């Protein structure tokens, strides 16, 4: 009897989504745990996988809106899973890595890069968990292959939608439906501006001390922890320090009630191809710097590879966003409701500044704090930003709690 393939539950607040893409075709033989489709909702993008091996029959077209629990395909169990297991010969064993990758266990980002670059994931040595090929592996493999004239033409058929766009002669526009995630982002940003009294205050930070600290201890930090020490972990610690000094920033409004948070779960904005996501780093006040760095790195990777879950996005009390990674010199970020404030980091540029009566060149960063003036006064917002500035310019303050 065929086994129904249903849209899995995604959380209480999600009831529908868009079946954005099928990773298999009607009548294909699929393996157990193989990725079958990509589902886009207003919060996250996830994959549906096969519960059994067999031959699949598709019942819903790509691009259709589907409901949680809806049957979108069926699998006739038995035919697909028996064949690979029945071949004990050595050549079959050699083919297993390629078969596993061809079975669709790669992330959406890896499959997209495979289509864009022509690099076969089966030919790439994976550095991810269990030997899984990551986006970074694909980019590294594609870099040397890009200049080669041979493979490039063979890879062109995959990204068919791109050349199809200008097909209509004289067309000056292309149109496509907004994804549920992009629609949700738009709704939340507009809602934040309509429902909150937003105001932004600015300051500038001398990054010399943090940069010197990183340079001095980077090699030892990498050797001990297996990852680099970045700027974001310093700002996370500085924000926690400032939130403790100005607790009104760590609060939110629920109806006519003011809710004071006494924990420090901070959101770190991550830009993905599908839109901005804000995974939350839990208990930042208790995490050491290495744990903060690892949590940020892991969360960003999950977001960009489409593996983020609702639990990863919920419960943040404050958000940090870094437009400096794209070269932004200054901006006014919008708060992430129901939070009361957001810190914007920006590009680091050498600028002349006055220090002890002398003009010197220092690596400077503008920082911006957008806050909800309904529950945060200007004095508190400025004090908060000064505390962040002090923590970055003199990191010893973060250790001493002053």
List of residues 6+ apart from 230 with CB closer than 8 A: 293, 296
- Write down the domain spans for the chain: 3-162, 181-400
Q: In the block, which residue shows the tokens 């003011």?
A: 258
Rounded distance between C-alpha atoms, residue 360 and residue 350, angstroms: 10
Three-state SS sequence of the chain: CCEEEECCCCCCCCCEEEEEEECCCCCCEECCCCEEEEEECCCCEEEEECCCCEEEEECCCCCCEEECCCEEEEEEECHHHHHHHCCCCHHHHHHHHHHHHHHHHCCHHHHHHHHHHCCCHHHCCCCCHHHCCCHHHHHHHHHHHCCCCCHHHHHCCCCCHHHHHHHCCCCCCCCCCCCHHHHHHHHHHHHHHHHCCEEEEEEEEECHHHHHHHHHHHHHHHHHHCCCCCCHHHHHHHHHHHHHHCHHHCEEEECCEEEECCCCCEEECEEECCEEECCEECCCCCCCHHHHHHHHHHHHHHHHCCCCCHHHHCCCCEEEEEHHHHCCCCCCCCCCCCCCEEEEECCEEEEEEEECCEEEEEEEEEEEEEEECCCCCHHHHHHHHHHHHHHHHCCHHHHHCC
Q: What are phi and psi of 186, to 5 degrees?
A: -60, -45
Chain centroid, CA 129 distance in Å: 18
Is 4 known to be catalytic?
no
Question: Could you give the C-alpha distances from 395 to 279, 364, 402, in angstroms and in order?
Answer: 25, 16, 10
What pLDDT score was predicted for residue 109? 62
Q: Which residue among the candidates 137, 298, 373, 394 is catalytic per the annotation? A: 373
Q: What CATH class does 3-162 carry?
A: mainly beta
**Contact criterion met (CB below 8 Å) for 21 and 37:** yes
What pLDDT score was predicted for residue 198? 93
Return the CATH architecture of domain 181-400.
2-Layer Sandwich (3.30)
- Closest by CA to 315, choosing from 346, 334, 336, is 336
Burial of 209 (C-beta count, 10 Å sphere; 0-12/13-18/19+): middle
What pLDDT score was predicted for residue 151? 46
The model's pTM is 0.63
Q: In the block, which residue shows the tokens 């071949």?
A: 87
Residuewise pLDDT in 10s, the chain (402 residues): 788 888 888 766 677 888 888 888 888 888 888 888 888 776 677 788 888 888 888 988 888 888 888 888 988 887 554 444 444 444 444 444 444 444 445 666 667 667 667 777 777 777 665 666 766 666 667 654 444 444 444 434 444 444 444 446 667 888 877 777 777 777 777 877 777 889 999 999 999 999 999 999 999 999 999 999 999 999 999 999 999 999 999 999 988 899 999 999 999 999 888 778 899 999 999 999 999 999 999 998 888 887 888 888 889 999 999 999 899 999 999 998 899 999 999 999 999 999 999 999 999 999 999 999 999 999 999 999 999 999 999 998 888 777
Is 219 known to be catalytic?
no
Q: Which residue among the candidates 123, 285, 377, 394 is catalytic per the annotation? A: 377
């Amino acid at each position: 009897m065929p086994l129904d393939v249903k849209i899995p539950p995604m959380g209480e607040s999600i009831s529908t989504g868009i079946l954005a893409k099928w990773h298999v075709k009607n009548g294909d033989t699929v393996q157990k745990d193989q990725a079958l489709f990509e589902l886009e909702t207003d919060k996250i993008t996830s994959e549906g996988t096969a519960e059994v091996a067999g031959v699949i029959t598709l019942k819903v077209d790509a691009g259709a809106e589907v409901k949680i629990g809806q049957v979108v395909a069926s699998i006739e169990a038995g035919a697909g899973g028996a064949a690979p297991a029945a071949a004990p010969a050595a050549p079959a064993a050699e083919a297993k890595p390629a078969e596993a990758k061809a079975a669709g266990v790669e992330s959406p980002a890896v499959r997209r890069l495979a289509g864009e670059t022509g690099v076969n994931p089966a030919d790439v040595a994976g550095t991810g968990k269990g030997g899984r090929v990551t986006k970074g592996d694909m980019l590294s493999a594609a870099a040397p292959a890009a200049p080669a004239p041979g493979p490039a033409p063979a890879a062109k058929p995959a990204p068919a939608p791109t050349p199809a766009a200008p097909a209509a002669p004289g067309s000056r526009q292309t149109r496509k439906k907004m994804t549920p995630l992009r629609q949700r982002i738009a709704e939340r940003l507009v809602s934040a501006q309509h429902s909150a009294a937003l105001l932004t205050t600015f300051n500038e930070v001398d990054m010399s001390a943090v940069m010197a600290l990183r340079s001095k201890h980077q090699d030892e930090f990498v050797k001990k922890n297996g990852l680099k020490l970045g700027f974001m972990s310093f700002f996370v610690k500085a924000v926690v320090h400032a939130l403790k000094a100005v607790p009104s920033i760590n609060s939110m409004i629920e109806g006519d009630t003011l809710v004071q948070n006494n924990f420090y779960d901070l959101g770190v904005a991550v830009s993905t191809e599908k839109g901005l996501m804000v995974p939350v780093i839990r208990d930042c006040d208790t995490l050491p710097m290495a744990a903060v760095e690892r949590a940020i790195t892991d969360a960003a990777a999950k977001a960009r590879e489409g593996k983020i879950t609702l639990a990863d996005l919920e419960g943040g009390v404050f958000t940090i966003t870094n437009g400096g990674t794209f070269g932004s010199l200054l901006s006014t970020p919008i708060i992430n409701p129901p939070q009361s404030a957001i810190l914007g980091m920006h590009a680091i540029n050498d600028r002349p500044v006055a220090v002890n009566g002398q003009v010197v060149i220092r690596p400077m960063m503008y920082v911006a704090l957008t806050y909800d003036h309904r529950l945060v006064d200007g004095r508190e917002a400025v004090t908060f930003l000064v505390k962040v500035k002090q923590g970055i310019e003199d990191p010893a303050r973060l250790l001493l709690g002053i």
